[in-house]
């Protein structure tokens, strides 16, 4: 799927722009233009430390 046609409108695909980098200060990891996230995979992982399929404390959810 190419997008090299000289048109005005971009293709209706989840394009978030080129040249984006991780939103974490100091992190220059590039993000894919199709990646809806604002952080790189590394910092995205630490954003949800409690979501590993486990419960930290039963009854304290």
Q: Which stretch binds Zn ion (CB under 5 A): 1-9, 11-19, 28-36, 52-60?
A: 28-36
Are the C-beta atoms of 13 and 34 separated by less than 8 Å?
yes
By the rule CB under 5 A, 27 interacts with Zn ion:
yes
By the rule CB under 5 A, 22 interacts with Zn ion:
yes
| Rounded Cα distance, 44 and 31, in Å | 11
Q: Which stretch binds Zn ion (CB under 5 A): 4-12, 14-22, 30-38, 49-57?
A: 14-22
Residue count of the chain, please give it: 61
> What residue ranges bind Zn ion (CB under 5 A)?
22, 24, 27, 29, 40, 43
């Amino acid at each position: 799927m190419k997008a090299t046609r000289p048109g005005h409108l971009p293709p209706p695909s989840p394009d978030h722009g080129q040249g984006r980098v991780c939103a974490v200060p100091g992190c220059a990891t590039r993000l894919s233009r199709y990646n809806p996230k604002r952080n790189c995979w590394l910092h995205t992982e630490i954003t949800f430390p409690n979501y590993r399929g486990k419960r930290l404390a039963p009854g304290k959810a």
